[in-house]
Amino acid sequence: FFAPDINAATELLASRCLTELVSAKLLPSL
């Protein structure tokens, strides 16, 4: 792996986890 690829992958994973966490917190309140 190259460094930029790893950075992009981690950013993608982080954003996915973050959106899942946010939706998990927002959906029950609806």
Collapsing DSSP to helix, strand or coil, 22 comes out as helix
Whether the full predicted model's pTM is greater than 0.85, yes or no, is: no
DSSP 30: -
**DSSP assigned state of 1:** -
Taking residues 1-9, what's their average pLDDT? 79
According to the model, what pLDDT value does residue 3 have? 72
Q: From the CA atom positions of the chain, what is the Rg in Å?
A: 13
pLDDT the model gives residue 11: 94
- Where residue 12 falls among pLDDT bands split at 50, 70, 90? very high
Q: Per-residue pLDDT for 6 more than 90?
A: no
Distance, in Å, from the CA atom of 21 to the CA atom of 23, rounded to the nearest integer, reads: 6
